[in-house]
Homo-oligomer: A and B are copies of this chain.
Amino acid sequence: MLLNKDRLHARMAELQLDAVIATTPENVTYTSGFWALPQWIRRGPQAYVVWPAPGKGEAEIVTSTATLDLVADQQIWVERVRRYGAFHVDGNPDAKDPVSQRLIELQEAHDHGDALSALVAGITDAGLSRARIGIDEIGLMPGQLEALRERLPGASLVPAAGLFRNARAVKTPEEIARLARVAEIAERSIKAALGVAREGVSEVELARAFHAQTVQDDAFPVLGCIGFGERSALMNVQPSDRRLRQGNVIRFDVGGRYRHYRADIARIATFGEPSEEVRRYHRALLAGVERACELIRPGARVADVFEAAVETVRREGIGHYRRNHVGHGIGIDGYDAPSLTATSDEIIEAGMVLCVETPYYELGRWGLQVEDMVVVRADGVERLMATSGDLIVVAP
């Protein structure tokens, strides 16, 4: 299961919530296993999961009739489903495959007309119309929260996007397995991209090789910052026709989505021998990541990790190094909690999956960056990476 049920329930108990409602694509999938295509590819389509506290009822998915095939075809641990809206599918009572049978059954349920009416009915039927309910406010469309309050005057609806984000910070074994796989796919994709590096190749051509490997491994391209030379210093560099030349830095800040889970890693290569300065700066950045990883363990203060990483980079070679953060959580969202900043009061916990990074951008020259994905275990970090963060030298 993706959902960290114990942690979600603990947070709900702290906030005295009788139920929570997921509304963003990430939280709907996280809470139920249900991946509702339309809400993942554009804003507007609505799907929800109503998740009562233990002993307060059954969880329920609320979604459009047009997406019931995905409910029927996916591994979902929420059994109750409420639908809204018309969508014409011809049922064949002779259909023998279990997905078609389940879809026919799901379509026979009452049509609640629209998303909000279905949600109101779900809350009411669950006996939660006078309950204290946390609602993930980010996935709603403007005006919907106000409309819900009007239609459920006895309920107390409190914003819960932060609660979901907190629950998601500590990963389940299934989530860690997916994150390990998507990190591996990103590494394989970097290797494939470097496989086409030669004098005169363009950033776009390298990106093609990168994404070809990503889709070959059944992941979807998301982040594909790949830049050569002076373009490697552009923090969000998008591949262009810039051609590779001897001595260029190649910066990758990349990662796809595999079974809904994200990767975000960074590696640096040079085409031909790097300058002494690039070597020294890169070593300093790598030392910063390594120092952070030494300190990351359950109970460590995020702010201490930040300070140690930045101080290490400064001491090891980039005296003027400055950063706002040295990493962040990753999961079904590319930026999960915690954010590794100087001012955070968060504490590292076992089961967190973190991107630990020390990027450095010097305009007109090059950008260097090491970013690893790690999972926090009882005795420290377990790297989810097969490759080291060492500088890669590609022979011209």
Binding site for B on A (CB under 8 A): 24, 35, 37-38, 41-44, 66-67, 69-70, 72-74, 86-92, 94-97, 99-100, 103-104, 137-142, 145, 159, 204, 208, 211-212, 214-216, 218, 220-223, 230-231, 233-238, 240, 320, 322-324, 333-335, 360-365
Contact partners of A100 in chain B: CB under 8 A: 230, 233, 363-364
Contacts of A362 in B (CB 8 A): 89-90, 92
Q: In the bound complex, do residue B103 and residue A42 qualify as a contact, i.e. CB atoms below 8 Å apart?
A: no
Please indicate the chain B residues that have their CB under 8 angstroms from the CB of A360 in the complex. 90
Can you show 16 pairs from A to B with CB atoms below 8 A apart? A24-B43, A37-B236, A38-B236, A42-B334, A70-B236, A70-B238, A74-B238, A88-B324, A89-B361, A90-B320, A91-B363, A92-B362, A95-B364, A97-B230, A99-B234, A208-B215
Kindly list chain B residues whose C-beta atoms are within 8 Å of the C-beta of A74: 238
- Chain B residues with CB under 8 Å of A365's CB are 92, 95
Q: Which residue of B lies closest to A204 (CB)?
A: B218
Chain B residues contacting A66 (CB-CB under 8 Å) are 235-236
Q: How many copies does the complex hold?
A: 2
Name the CB-closest residue of B to A45: B335
A221 touching B215 by the CB < 8 A rule? Answer: yes
Residue from B88, B104, B139, B240 within 8 A of A322 (CB atoms): B88
B97 and A364 contact, CB distance less than 8 A: yes
Residues of B within 8 A of A216 (CB): 208, 212
Q: How near does chain B come to A222, taking the closest CB pair, in angstroms? A: 6
A234 surroundings in chain B (CB, below 8 A): 69-70, 72-73, 99, 103
CB distance from A250 to the nearest CB of B (A): 17
Alpha-carbon distance between A355 and B236 when the two chains are bound, in angstroms: 33
Q: CA of A335 to CA of B97 in the docked complex: distance in angstroms?
A: 32
Q: How far is it, in angstroms, between the C-alpha of A324 and the C-alpha of B111 when the chains are bound?
A: 15
B218 & A208 in contact (Cβ 8 Å cutoff): yes
Contact residue among B103, B140, B223, B230 (Cβ-Cβ distance under 8 Å from A142): B140
The 4 A-B pairs of least Cβ separation, nearest first, read: A95-B364, A211-B215, A69-B234, A88-B322
Q: How far, in angstroms, from A322 to B90 measured CA to CA in the complex?
A: 9
Whether A103 pairs with B322 at a CB distance below 8 angstroms is no
Q: A69-B236, A218-B208 are in contact. Are A95 and B363 (CB under 8 A)?
A: yes
- In the complex, which residues of chain B have a beta carbon less than 8 angstroms from the beta carbon of A322? 88
- On whether A88 and B323 interact (CB within 8 A), knowing A95-B363, A363-B95, the answer reads yes
A281 to B258, CA, bound (A): 36
B89, A363: Cβ atoms closer than 8 Å: yes
**Shortest distance in angstroms between A12's beta carbon and chain B's nearest beta carbon?**
20
Q: Beyond A89-B233, A208-B218, is A138–B141 a contact (Cβ under 8 Å)?
A: yes
Across the interface, which residues of B come within 8 angstroms of A159, CB to CB? 142
Sample of 4 more A-B contacts, CB < 8 Å, known A89-B361, A96-B364: A24-B43, A73-B237, A90-B320, A103-B234
A91 to B222, CA, bound (A): 28
Instruction: Say whether B140 contacts A90, CB under 8 Å.
Output: no
The distance from the CB of A245 to the nearest CB of chain B, in whole angstroms, is 13
Known: A138-B142, A218-B204. A223 touches B43 (CB 8 A): no
Return the contact of A221 from the options B145, B220, B324 (Cβ within 8 A). Answer: B220
Instruction: Report the Cα distance A323→B87, complex, angstroms.
Output: 7
Tell me, in angstroms, the Cα distance from A218 to B214 when the chains sit together. Answer: 14
Cβ–Cβ contact B363 & A222, under 8 A: no
B103 and A334 contacting across the interface, CB-CB below 8 Å: no
Q: How far is the CA of A24 from the CA of B90 in the complex (A)?
A: 36
Chain B residues near A145 (CB, 8 Å)?
Answer: 142
